A = this chain, B = another copy of it.
C-alpha cells in the first residue's frame, strides 16, 4: 500500500462520516420531533468531535507528507514522459534514425577535417546535419521558418527556455564582460606555469581531487579520451580526462568540471534511478554544477592555495614561488581562440558568437558555405584579432558535428546559474573558504547535493535553480563575482 492509498482510504471514511453528520441536519429539518432540539445539539457536537479528531489525526499529517512526495514524483514523471512522447510522436522514425546515423558518422569526418584544417571536408556533412535538424525542428514546432525552429532545438537541452530570453540575458552581460576584459588586458599579464609534469603524478593528483569533490569511483570510472566528457547516470556515471605533460591544469580542471557533471548524476535521489526523473534537469543546470565545481570552487584562492602545496609534493616543485602566483596563473586572462581554454571572463563571449551563428544557420539566414567567413568576421569584431586556421576557429568544437544546435547557450546559462548558486552557497556556508583552504570542498558539494542535485528532474530547470537559491535567476551575481575576483587579481 502506498501512502496515497492509505490517505485516500482515510479520506473515504471521513467523507462517509461527514455524510452521516449531514443526515442529522436533514432529519432536524424534516422529521425530528420539536422537543429533541437539545439532544440533537449534543448528537451533532459529538459527531463534530469524531470528525475533528479524524481531521486532525497526526497520522494524517504524516500520510499527507509522504503522499505529497509520491505524487510530486508521479506528476513530474507524467510531465517528462508526456514531453518525451509528444516529442517522439512528432518525429518520423526514419528521421530519428537518420539523425543518429549521420551524427555518428559526422564525428569522424569533423575530427579529420579539424586535424587537416580542411573546412571544405566538413561542410557537406554539416549541411546534411542542418537539413535534418531543421526538418526535425519543423516537425517539433509545426513551423517551417522563424524563431520557433531554433527554440524547438534549444528545448531539447533547456526545456521551457526561448532564444529571445537568452539573447536578452546575453545583451545584459556583454557590456560588463567586454569592459572587464578591456581593463584586464591593459594590465601586465601574470606568468603562466611551465615545466614538465609527470603524467602518472598528474593522474594521481587528479583522482585524489575528484574524490575530494565527492566523486564515487565505485559508481564511476575515469578514462582517457581526446575530449573530456561525462556519460551515464546513477550508479554508472563515468568521466574521461586527458593529460598534457606541459599543462597540468588541463587534466586537473577538465576533471573537476566533469566531476561536477558526474556528481550531479550520482547524487540524484536513488529512488529516481532509471526513471524519467533520474537525470539532470537540463543542460544549463548540469553545466552550473560543472562550472561551480571547476571555477567558483576549484579556481578560488583558498583552494588554489591548498593545491599549491599538493602540486609541489606531486611534481617536486613548481615554476612559481607562491600560492598567489599560482592563483594568478590559473586565472590568467589571455588572448586566445579556443573556447574550452578560455578564462572565466572571456568564456561567455565565445558562447555568444556561436549562439548567434547557429541561430542564423538554422533560420537559413546564413548559408553553410558562408559560415567560415562569418565566424572569422565575428571573431575579429568580438576579440580584436584574426583567426589564423579553421581548427582555431569554426572547426574547433565537436558540437555541430554531433548535430547539437541549441546546445552552446546552455554553457553560458550554466555560468549564470553557477553565479546565483555561489552567492546563495556563500550566504548559507560562511566557513566555506576555511574548508577549501584545506582542500575540502565538501561543505559546498553537500550543500549543492541537498539543495539541487538530489532532485534530478523532479522540477523544471528554472524552478530547480530558483528553489536552490531561494529567489529569481539573474546574471548579476556572476558578473559581480567576476568583477570582484578579477578586479582584485588585476588591481582594477
Please report A residues at the B interface, Cβ cutoff 8 Å. 4, 7-8, 10-12, 14-16, 19, 22-23, 25-26, 28-31, 37-38, 40-42, 44-49, 52-53, 55-56, 60-61, 64, 67-68, 71, 74-75, 77-78, 81-82, 84-85, 87-89, 91, 93, 96-102, 104-105, 107-108, 223-227, 229, 231-233, 236, 238, 240, 274-276, 278
Contacts and interface: CB of A to CB of B under 8 A. Distances in A.
A78 B37 CA distance: 37
Nearest to A29: B225
Given A26-B238, A85-B56, A101-B41, A8 B77 contact: yes
A50 to B, nearest CB: 10
A132 B10 CA distance: 29
A64 B78 contact: yes
Nearest to A84: B55
B42 A96 contact: no
Contacts of A44: 100-101, 104
Given A23-B232, A93-B52, A85 B98 contact: no
A275 B108 CA distance: 61
Contacts of A10: 81
Contacts of A88: 52, 55-56
Assembly of this chain: how many copies? 2
A28 to B, nearest CB: 7
Contact of A4 (B40, B74, B238): B74
B96 A274 contact: no
A113 to B, nearest CB: 14
A100 to B, nearest CB: 4
A11 B275 contact: yes
A99 B44 CA distance: 10
A75 B71 contact: yes
Contacts of A28: 104, 107
Please list the 4 inter-chain residue pairs (A to B) with the smallest Cβ-Cβ separation, ordered nearest first.
A55-B88, A48-B100, A41-B104, A45-B101
B101 A7 contact: no
A432 to B, nearest CB: 33
Contacts of A15: 274-276, 278
A14 to B, nearest CB: 8
Given A8-B77, A15-B274, A71-B71, 11 more contacts: A11-B276, A19-B236, A23-B231, A28-B104, A37-B108, A48-B99, A52-B88, A52-B97, A56-B89, A71-B75, A75-B75
Given A26-B238, A29-B227, A93 B11 contact: no
